[in-house]
Structures are given as structure tokens and as C-alpha cells.
Amino acid sequence: MRLIEHPILGEIIKGPLVRFELDGKSMTGYEGEPIAVALRAAGVMTHRHTMKLDRPRGIFCAIGRCTDCVMIVDGKPNVRTCVTPLKEGMKLQTQYGVGAMKPSEEDVLHKK
């Protein structure tokens, strides 16, 4: 089941099937649908991890208001995947905290 209408974006025009990458793994989705929809259809629920407690986060509001769905998209951190259209060749990365850097083991140990 895929999204056909979005409360903010309106009608979702499903384009051709395109390839994209998530953490180096090749995936497919439909051009123009929100990135989060393509990830959900592929069974991906975690988009980022919180910095302090390393808790997984994914879709929550689905309208671009919260930051639970943010990911690194083509090298840019904090992209709201629930309102960003999928394009051929996008490179997505699971995000850690509010930036592009994955915490070191030492950072995680000191914050627990």
C-alpha cells in the first residue's frame, strides 16, 4: 500500500520506478513519491537515531513538522523525508543526532 494523497503535498504523482541507495544498499521506489513512503514500502522504519540515547526514530507526523524522519540525503543532513520527493540516484544515510556525524563509542558511553 502506497500513499496516493498527502495532506501537505496534495496528490502524489507516481513516476517511473527509480533506484536509490540507503546506507550503501540499492533500493527502488517511485519517482516523485516522498522518500519516507519509498522507505516504508521497502520495510525501512528507522530514519535516524537520537544522539543522547541512540533511540531509533522514523515517521511520526508525516507533514514536515517534527524531525523524526530526517536523514542525510545526498550529503545534506536534516532533510525531512516525509515531504521530500524521491529522485533517481539519491543517496540516503541513516542520521545520528541532528547532524551528519555518527557518534563515537566514547560519546555514546559518556552520555548514558
Global pTM value: 0.79
Domains of the chain: 5-111 (3.10.20.440)
Most confident residue range from 2-6, 37-41, 49-53, 95-99: 37-41
Q: How far apart are CA 54 and CA 76, in angstroms?
A: 20
Structure confidence by residue, pLDDT tens digits, 41-80 = 999 999 999 888 889 988 888 888 888 999 999 999 999 9
How crowded is residue 42: how many other Cβ atoms within 10 Å of its Cβ?
13
Residue 23, CA distances (Å) to 44, 49, 62 in order: 12, 14, 22
